[in-house]
Amino acid sequence: MSVATQTTAVRTGRIGRALIVTVLIFFALFYLLPLGVMLINSLKPLPEITGGNMMALPREPTLDPWRSAWSTAQIGVQATGLKPYFLNSILMVVPAVAISTMLGALNGYVLTKWRFPGHRWVFGLLLFSCFIPFQIVLIPMARLLGLMGLAGSLPGLILVHVVYGIGFSTLYFRNYYAAFPTELVRAAMIDGAGFFRIFWRIMLPVSGPIAVVCIIWQFTNIWNDFLFGVSFAGLDAMPMTVALNNLVQSSTGVREYNVHFAAAILAALPTLLVYIVAGRYFVRGLMAGSVKG
């Protein structure tokens, strides 16, 4: 191949890569446009928004909409802002994610390394639970929470998310542990290690990648959930999403769009930060255990 041909090929390759990067940047900006509009308008005084041209940068930037959304905005009949409901979401998400992830890891361990008669049926039922629509379980779950004395409470909402998340977490860990060498478990059993010792000392230490996937998936679903929150949470146990809806719906007179934009960003900020910090680990975890050997 001549030098001129090589130079032409290199130049063509650079042009192609530049074109691909340009197209990707365009789609990224297009995808981020709604977030940009929300952020810009959350920093504007209300007269600038009602005056039109929502795409313009703020002439007099202010953080008052953010302060109002966080601490003084009218939500229902109370001017509390999103602060107490943000705490409710944290108190709901952390134990729900931790419990469902640990139970999923334990289920995956049992279904792959301690198989028993009917284990395929058990896994099939857990997998089937992942495809049950939320709306179908509302009435039975409300009845069960009432009988347990957990209706309208934060522990009741945690229980709902744990029950609904076990199927997904079991699926993740079961597929991950299926690629783990069973010979190591058998060797540990010969050395005298018991059920839980093998789980804590051998299985859990190598479960980091899939645990990250499960935690991100569960955190996102539970934090963004609205249906269970509005159905099972009382006034004092409302999560962030329900409070955000009440904030928008409780506005009277002139709607404070800047406060609404700021509140929406505050509600979405935790999941956004989780994906920014741990997004690459999510992809690695999905790939881990996908091939055996």
CB neighbours (10 Å) of residue 265? 16
The Cα–Cα gap between 240 and 184 comes to 45
The Cα–Cα gap between 48 and 56 comes to 9
Q: 282 pLDDT exceeds 80?
A: no
Asked whether the CA dihedral 195, 197, 203, 207 is positive or negative, the reply is: positive
Beta bridge partners of 152: 233
**Cα angle for residues 75, 50, 31 (degrees, 5° grid):** 80
pLDDT value at residue 288: 60
The Cα–Cα gap between 177 and 203 comes to 8
At how many degrees (to 10) do helices 154-178 and 138-148 cross? 120
Contacts of 208 (CB under 8 A, 6+ apart): none
Residue 48 near residue 59 (C-beta atoms within 8 A): yes
The Cα–Cα gap between 164 and 218 comes to 10
Which residues in 83-94 are b (16+ Cβ under 10 Å) and which e?
eebbebbebbbe
Residue 25 near residue 219 (C-beta atoms within 8 A): no
Query: What pTM does this model have?
Result: 0.83
pLDDT, one tens digit per residue, over 35-91 is 888 999 989 888 888 877 778 888 888 888 899 889 887 776 666 788 889 999 999
What the block records as the tokens of 29 is: 């900006």
Contacts of 165 (CB under 8 A, 6+ apart): 96, 97, 100, 104, 218, 221, 222
Segment among 11-15, 197-201, 265-269 with least mean pLDDT: 11-15
The Cα–Cα gap between 230 and 245 comes to 10
Which residues in 178-205 are b (16+ Cβ under 10 Å) and which e?
eebeeeebeebeeeebeeeebbeebbee
Compute the mean pLDDT over every residue in the chain, rounded to the nearest whole number.
84
pLDDT, one tens digit per residue, over 284-293 is 666 665 544 4
Q: Number of C-alpha atoms within 13 angstroms, CB side, residue 207? A: 27
pLDDT value at residue 25: 92
Segment among 10-24, 28-42, 216-230, 275-289 with least mean pLDDT: 275-289
pLDDT value at residue 278: 74
Percent of the chain with pLDDT strictly greater than 70: 88
pLDDT value at residue 293: 42
pLDDT, one tens digit per residue, over 146-190 is 999 888 889 999 999 999 889 889 988 988 888 888 888 888 888
Q: 96 pLDDT exceeds 90?
A: yes
